[in-house]
Each structure stands twice: as structure tokens, then as C-alpha cells.
Chain A
Amino acid sequence: MVDMSNLDMSKPRRDIPRGMLDLLILQTLETMGALHGYGIARRIEQVAGGDRRLSQGAIYPALVRLQQQGWIRATWGTSETSRQVKFYELTKAGTKQLHIEIAGWEESTALMARFLEAKP
């Protein structure tokens, strides 16, 4: 179902911070295997649920960044509309990086949680 909730302009759409977007993409590729850009964007939207803060286009600058860092690689494939399109997949270095970033996130969120729960 396409829902039109993202047409609601009353809630400002904040961008996802770039570090977080990188992590979302890497995690998506680890879970799903090779995907094209649209596939990645849809998957992130689905996992994020109703929270549509992502302009789908925003993944492309992130993809080129990850590619240059050698964490993902692109191969040509055919889309469901039979168009030549790039499929992105994790490299070995990318898998390693993903685990580093996950550890980093868990540390940050644990720290943040401790602060928010701290009693005077």
C-alpha cells in the first residue's frame, strides 16, 4: 500500500544523520544480500515503519561514499522493469565495518540510556 502520510507537510522532515544512514544501508545489505538502490530505500522505509524521514534519493550519495570506502561494491543486473541497474552488495571489509559500527552504536545508546535514567 502506498500511504500518503508523507504528503503531510506539517511535520518537518529531518534528514537521517549520515553515519546512521550508512549503518542502515550496510545492515540492509547484510540482511537482504545484493539489492538495487530502490530496493535498499524500500527496505529501510519498511523497517523504519511509518517514520518517513528518508528522501529515497538520499541513499545515492551514501552509496557512492560506501563504495569509495570499499565497504560495498556494485555489479550490473536487471531490474524488475528489465532495465540495467546497479546491484549493491557488502564486501568483506564492509561486513567488518558493519560490526564495528554496530558496536559503536550500542555503546552510544547504552551511554545515552544511562544518562537519561540517571537520578539526581
Chain B
Amino acid sequence: MRRAWQRLLALVHRDRIDRELDEDVRAHLELAERDARAAGLSPEDARREALLRFGPLEAMKEAHRDERAVPWLENLVRDVRYGLRATCRTPGFAAVVVCTLALGIGANTAIFSVVSAVLLRPLPYRDSDRLVTIASNTDPDMRRQAYTALSYPDYQDIKTLTDAIADAAGIRTIATT
């Protein structure tokens, strides 16, 4: 818990921590160089020896960053910053991208609202999953589906006589385009 908090803090103080690490490393190399020269190495050799003993510097910094913070979050922050900077550099392109996105999202939302109302949401009636439409097929061989409305007496029979149908109401369909 304590570490999780510290790691988040480290994200905020990233620059300061990096600076302090650099200070530490500089002091370290200086001391190592001094010791190597005291042992009789030439200044160049001492410098080389110090670096060699220290090991790969960039790998260490990488490990340091991974250790102290939340690497994926740090990368995310960096990527977002980079993205914003890049966007500000090319405002025309950015505007086109924003418009494209806006149109795309808008069109999707519009179509989805229709689909949702027509196909996905149940009809706004009680027991809407038990609703059926009844029509009569006028094709004498019953091969084609030529539906037409029921006659009023048929409707009355269905309403009163059929057990399978709890209640019935007449509707009239209008062809629309």
C-alpha cells in the first residue's frame, strides 16, 4: 500500500527524481574515478574503469524507472503528451481528424438509436414477448405469403373463442417509405 502510493508520487516528481539520480551517478563515477587514479591508472583509464564497473547506465536508469513508478502509466502519460504536442503542431490536420471523428461518432449514434428502438428494445406493451400479429393468407394454395387483414367476424371469433390468444385488438398497417 505504502509502495503503491510512493510509486504514484514518483510519477509526479519524475523530473526531480531523475535529476537526483543523475547527481548520485555523477558523484558515484567521480568517486570511482578518484579511487582508480589513486590505484595508479591514467586519467582516461580511470574514467573508463569507473564506467565499466558501474555497468550499463541506460539500462540502470530504465530499471530505476520501472522500480520506482508505474511504468505503463508513465508511458501512457508520455504518449498522451507526445500526442498533444504533435496535434498542436499541425492544427489543420487535427481539425480534419476531429471532424472525421465527430461525423463518424454522430452517424453511429444516430443509427444505433434507430436500431435500438426498432430491433433491440421490447415493444412498449405489457408482456410484449407474447405479442403476435394475425393475418389471413389469401393465396388459395398457401404457397405464397399473401397476407391481408382479417374480416371483422374472424377478428371477433379470435378475440372471444380462441384460448391461445388472451386478447386481441385490430390494427391497420399503412405502407410507408
Binding site for B on A (CB under 8 A): 1-2, 4, 6-7, 36-38, 41-42, 55-58, 60-62, 64-65, 68-70, 79-81, 83-86
Contact = CB atoms under 8 A, between A and B. Distances in A.
Contacts of A64: 17, 21, 64, 67-68
B102 interface: no
A42 B41 CA distance: 18
B6 A38 contact: no
Interface string B48-91: 01001111110110011011100000000000000000000000
A53 B66 CA distance: 22
Contacts of B21: 60, 64
Given A7-B52, A61-B63, A69-B3, A56 B32 contact: yes
Interface in B11-39: 17, 20-21, 23-28, 30-32, 34-36, 39
Contact of B60 (A7, A61, A70, A79): A61
Contacts of B66: 61
Given A6-B53, A79-B31, A81-B30, A68 B68 contact: yes
Contacts of A61: 60, 63-64, 66-68
A65 B60 contact: no
Contact of A2 (B20, B26, B49): B49
Interface residues of B, number: 37
Contacts of B6: 68
B28 A56 contact: yes
A69 B2 contact: yes
Given A61-B67, A68-B10, 20 more contacts: A4-B49, A37-B24, A38-B28, A55-B53, A56-B54, A57-B28, A60-B21, A61-B63, A62-B67, A64-B64, A64-B68, A68-B2, A68-B3, A69-B3, A79-B31, A80-B31, A84-B27, A85-B24, A85-B27, A86-B23
Given A68-B2, A68-B68, A55 B56 contact: yes
B67 A65 contact: yes
B7 interface: yes
A70 B26 CA distance: 25
A57 B54 contact: yes
Contacts of A81: 27, 30-31, 34
B3 A55 contact: no
B31 A70 contact: no
Contacts of A83: 23, 26-27, 30
